[in-house]
């Protein structure tokens, strides 16, 4: 039984006992009072009447008249004069008066006053004994009215006291509920504080809980800061803060091979000409500041394209990867113009050149970089701020309407297939199967990976229907073999107000299979829709499904608000763990991130692990599992 119910029960028992005692005492006192008053009346009447009869000199007629007169003017049940031999000399008797009080009440609390009695004599001669008994029905009526009046007053008092008790219990219940919600929030990795109540004992509890929450939040923030510092040391160029060469190449490799990534985009290389000459001319400090400002200009130019990755490949070379850009020339010309304005403000002789190539899903990275280097070399031959393009890569040749028709046809006819890859724990046991979706866009055509159609699905706003289809296929597969499966949820689906209700309805139809469904949202998209992710987590947990982040790692330290929405797991991006075995700084970074995530109760897995050495290094970092080419298909 809950504490509040116990308090209510104690209050109820106390009130019931107190009111029962007060009611009983009041009624008993009233009964005794009425009974005493009737007994006194009987006795007084008997004494008075006996005195009057004694003055009648034993005349039977006179005594009869006196008794009749007294009987008729009073409210008596019996007036009897008996001789000394017990023989009745005179008697007046009336039928008992019916009482307005219920019979059970009269039977339970019947008033039986002592009859009045007195001796009647004629001088020294004793005539007999007089007995007087009054009617008690009026006393029963009065007692019944007093009982009803007392019960009503006590009921009103009980309501008033119950109302006051309700306010008192509410003062206890609300702070307790707030404390419980605070504790539940901690289990969901949310750090909230509550206002202190006025009740001294509860105020101390609340203060202690708030202090604990503040300390835990401080510890988490401190860990996050340490992880961010390790990330910068491992993955970022010390001067500009951009991705270093190794990390940039890892990110590019993942984009080219990702099943659910972009179909294509642009690679833009930027080179600052004669950096050594600028260093001699402007000085080391000024040149460093110029590099930092150039990096900021390149990032600002990349940001215009939406998603991006920017890195510093060496001292003078920078690179941008821009997924899903339509025009190759626009970003290349934009970054060249920005650098022209910046460099000329420092030194008129400073200049830069730009080379850009088109990339597409599955293209060899070495070939793309070689083409980009050739474009950059051609730009150098043309002179300052020249831009060279190589736009010969594959692109999306169909228009938006054609893509919409193909995608809607595939979804409506359910021409779709989940491709399964096992995710295993560090002992090799399968945790679940990763299930990227492939669609058959043409009748009798091949199954096409998401990288080729996902950009157009986003543009045509069909991602929610596609994600529902993937979830339905996963649940059906779980129903067959009982193996958990993970499907990707596009950030665009979260913005569709009908998606979560439809997904919840789908899970309700697969109640037994729902706990085996793992839903994954990309880190970048989840950060842009934190409140929508929070709502989805709440709804999916109600059905038993799990929700987590995929492609995570780059912005974990920015995701404190996201990590507090109640996620179940985090999957580190392949670029985050690529080449981990040979890089001590990156191992320290991953280990720190894993400790931080484990500290708030999240499972941590690694995506796209390609080598057994990296898998071994991940095990030393404390990860819970991994997936990728290193895991054999089963």
Same domain, 381 and 420: no
Please say if the pLDDT value at position 462 is more than 70: yes
Q: What is the pLDDT of residues 293-351, one digit of tens each?
A: 999 999 999 988 778 899 999 988 999 999 888 788 899 999 999 999 998 888 888 89
Please say if the pLDDT value at position 164 is more than 90: no
Q: Whole-angstrom Cα distance, residue 438 to residue 447?
A: 5
Q: What is the pLDDT of residues 467-511, one digit of tens each?
A: 999 999 999 999 999 999 999 999 889 999 999 999 999 999 999
- Cβ pair 313, 293 in contact under 8 A: no
Q: Whole-angstrom Cα distance, residue 3 to residue 177?
A: 11
pLDDT of residue 634: 64
Poorest-confidence range of 63-72, 210-219, 295-304, 591-600? 210-219
Same domain, 413 and 481: yes
399 — pLDDT class (breaks 50, 70, 90)? low
526 — pLDDT class (breaks 50, 70, 90)? confident
Which of 397, 248, 233, 396 shows the shortest CA–CA distance to 318? 248
In total, how many domains does the chain have?
A: 3
Q: What is the pLDDT of residues 93-126, one digit of tens each?
A: 887 777 788 888 888 888 888 898 999 888 778 8
Please say if the pLDDT value at position 89 is more than 50: yes
Same domain, 270 and 293: yes
Structure tokens at 170: 């509410």
Q: What is the arithmetic mean of pLDDT over 416-429?
A: 93
DSSP annotation of 630 reads T
Please say if the pLDDT value at position 66 is more than 60: yes
Which of 141, 159, 177 delimits the end of a domain?
159
* Residue with tokens 């690529």, as numbered in its chain: 578
pLDDT of residue 395: 44
Please say if the pLDDT value at position 513 is more than 90: yes
626 — pLDDT class (breaks 50, 70, 90)? very high
Please say if the pLDDT value at position 396 is more than 80: no
Helix (H) or strand (E) holding 615: helix 612-620
Q: What is the pLDDT of residues 122-133, one digit of tens each?
A: 877 888 898 988
pLDDT of residue 166: 82
Which of 103, 112, 110 shows the shortest CA–CA distance to 27? 110
Identify the CATH number of the domain in which residue 124 sits.
3.30.450
Same domain, 467 and 613: yes
Which of 109, 134, 159 delimits the end of a domain?
159
pLDDT of residue 189: 67
* Residue with tokens 């009072």, as numbered in its chain: 33
Same domain, 423 and 371: no
Identify the CATH number of the domain in which residue 449 sits.
3.20.20.450
54 to each of 41, 46, 508, how far by Cα in Å?
20, 12, 100
Angle CA(314)–CA(316)–CA(319) in degrees, nearest 5?
70
Q: Whole-angstrom Cα distance, residue 513 to residue 546?
A: 12
Is 226 part of a structural domain of the chain?
no
Grouping H, G, I as helix, E, B as strand and the rest as coil, residue 438 is strand
Please say if the pLDDT value at position 393 is more than 60: no
pLDDT of residue 109: 81
**Residue 29 structural domain:** 3-159
Which DSSP string corresponds to 53-72?
A: HHTTTT-HHHHHHHHHHHHH
Q: Whole-angstrom Cα distance, residue 510 to residue 89?
A: 99
pLDDT of residue 306: 76
Which of 140, 159, 178 delimits the end of a domain?
159
pLDDT of residue 294: 93
Please say if the pLDDT value at position 254 is more than 80: yes
* Residue with tokens 């990339």, as numbered in its chain: 359
Is 241 part of a structural domain of the chain?
no
Q: What is the arithmetic mean of pLDDT over 252-257?
A: 86
Please say if the pLDDT value at position 359 is more than 60: yes
Half-sphere exposure of 396 (CA within 13 A, CB side): 24
pLDDT of residue 554: 77
Same domain, 325 and 442: no
Residue with the bigger pLDDT between 554 and 464: it is 464
Is 378 part of a structural domain of the chain?
yes
pLDDT of residue 394: 46
Residue with the bigger pLDDT between 559 and 631: it is 631
2 — pLDDT class (breaks 50, 70, 90)? low
Q: What is the arithmetic mean of pLDDT over 147-154?
A: 88
Q: What is the arithmetic mean of pLDDT over 72-76?
A: 80
Residue with the bigger pLDDT between 321 and 169: it is 321
Same domain, 369 and 418: no
pLDDT of residue 465: 94
CA 369 to chain centroid:
47
Q: What is the arithmetic mean of pLDDT over 60-75?
A: 84
pLDDT of residue 559: 61
pLDDT of residue 1: 64
Q: What is the arithmetic mean of pLDDT over 596-625?
A: 91
pLDDT of residue 463: 92
Q: What torsion do the CA atoms of 450, 453, 459, 464 make, to the nearest 10 degrees?
A: -50
* Residue with tokens 């990296």, as numbered in its chain: 614
Q: Whole-angstrom Cα distance, residue 574 to residue 140?
A: 93
Is 92 part of a structural domain of the chain?
yes
Q: What is the arithmetic mean of pLDDT over 238-256?
A: 89
Is 189 part of a structural domain of the chain?
no
Please say if the pLDDT value at position 243 is more than 50: yes
Same domain, 291 and 377: yes
- SS3 string, 520-569, reads EEEHHHHHHCHHHHHHHHHHHHHHCCEEEEEEECCCHHHCHHHHCCCCCE
Poorest-confidence range of 155-159, 221-225, 607-611? 221-225
- Percent of the chain having pLDDT more than 70? 96
Is 410 part of a structural domain of the chain?
yes
């Amino acid at each position: 039984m809950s504490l509040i119910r116990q308090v209510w029960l104690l209050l109820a028992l106390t009130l019931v006992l107190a009111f029962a005692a007060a009611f009983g005492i009041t009624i008993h006192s009233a009964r005794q009072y009425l009974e005493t008053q009737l007994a006194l009346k009987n006795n007084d009447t008997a004494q008075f009447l006996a005195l009057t009869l004694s003055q009648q000199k034993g005349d039977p007629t006179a005594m009869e008249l006196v008794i009749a007169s007294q009987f008729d003017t009073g409210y008596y049940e019996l007036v009897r004069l008996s001789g000394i031999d017990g023989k009745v000399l005179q008697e007046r008797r009336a039928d008992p008066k019916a009482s307005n009080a219920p019979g059970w009440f009269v039977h339970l609390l019947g008033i039986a006053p002592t009859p009045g009695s007195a001796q009647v004599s004629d001088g020294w001669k004793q005539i007999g004994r007089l007995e007087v008994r009054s009617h008690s029905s009026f006393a029963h009526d009065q007692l019944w009215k007093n009982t009803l009046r007392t019960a009503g007053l006590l009921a009103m008092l009980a309501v008033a006291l119950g109302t006051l008790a309700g306010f008192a219990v509410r003062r206890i219940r609300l702070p307790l509920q707030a404390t419980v919600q605070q504790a539940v929030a901690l289990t969901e990795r949310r750090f909230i504080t509550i206002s202190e109540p006025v009740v001294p004992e509860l105020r101390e509890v609340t203060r202690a809980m708030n202090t604990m929450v503040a300390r835990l939040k401080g510890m988490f923030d401190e860990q996050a800061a340490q992880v961010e510092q390790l990330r910068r040391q491992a993955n970022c160029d010390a001067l500009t803060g951009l991705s270093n060469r190794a990390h940039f190449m890892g990110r590019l490799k993942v984009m080219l091979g990702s099943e659910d990534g972009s179909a294509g985009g642009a690679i833009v290389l930027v080179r600052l000409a004669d950096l050594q000459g600028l260093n001699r001319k402007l000085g080391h400090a000024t040149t460093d500041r110029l590099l930092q400002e150039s990096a900021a200009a390149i990032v600002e130019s990349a940001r215009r394209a939406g998603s991006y990755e920017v890195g510093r490949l060496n001292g003078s070379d920078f690179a941008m990867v821009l997924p899903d850009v339509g025009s190759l020339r626009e970003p290349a010309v934009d970054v060249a113009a920005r650098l022209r304005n910046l460099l000329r403000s420092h030194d008129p002789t400073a200049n830069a050149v730009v080379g850009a190539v088109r990339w597409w899903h599955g293209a060899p990275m070495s070939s793309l970089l070689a083409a980009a280097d050739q474009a950059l070399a051609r730009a150098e031959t043309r002179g300052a701020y020249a831009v060279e393009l190589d736009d010969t890569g594959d692109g999306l040749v169909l228009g938006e309407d054609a893509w919409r028709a193909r995608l809607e046809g595939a979804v409506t006819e359910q021409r779709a297939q989940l491709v399964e890859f096992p995710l295993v724990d560090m002992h090799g046991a399968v945790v679940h199967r990763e299930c990227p979706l492939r669609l058959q866009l043409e009748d009798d055509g091949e199954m096409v990976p998401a990288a080729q159609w996902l950009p157009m699905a986003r543009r045509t706003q069909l991602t929610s229907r596609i994600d529902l289809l993937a979830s339905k296929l996963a649940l059906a597969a779980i129903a067959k073999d009982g193996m958990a499966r993970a499907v990707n949820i596009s950030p665009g689906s979260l913005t569709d107000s009908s998606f979560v209700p439809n997904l919840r309805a789908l899970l309700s139809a697969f109640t037994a299979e729902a706990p085996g469904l793992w839903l994954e949202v990309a880190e970048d998209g989840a950060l842009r829709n934190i409140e929508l992710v929070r709502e989805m987590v709440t709804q999916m947990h109600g059905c038993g499904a799990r929700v987590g982040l995929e492609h995570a790692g780059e912005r974990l330290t920015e995701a404190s608000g996201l990590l507090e929405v109640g996620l179940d797991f985090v999957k580190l991006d392949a670029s985050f763990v690529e080449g981990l075995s040979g890089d001590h700084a990156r191992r320290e970074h991953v280990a720190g991130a894993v400790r931080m995530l484990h500290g708030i109760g999240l499972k941590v897995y690694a995506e796209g692990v390609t080598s057994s050495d990296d898998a071994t290094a991940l095990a030393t970092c404390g990860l819970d599992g991994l997936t990728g080419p290193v895991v054999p298909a089963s």
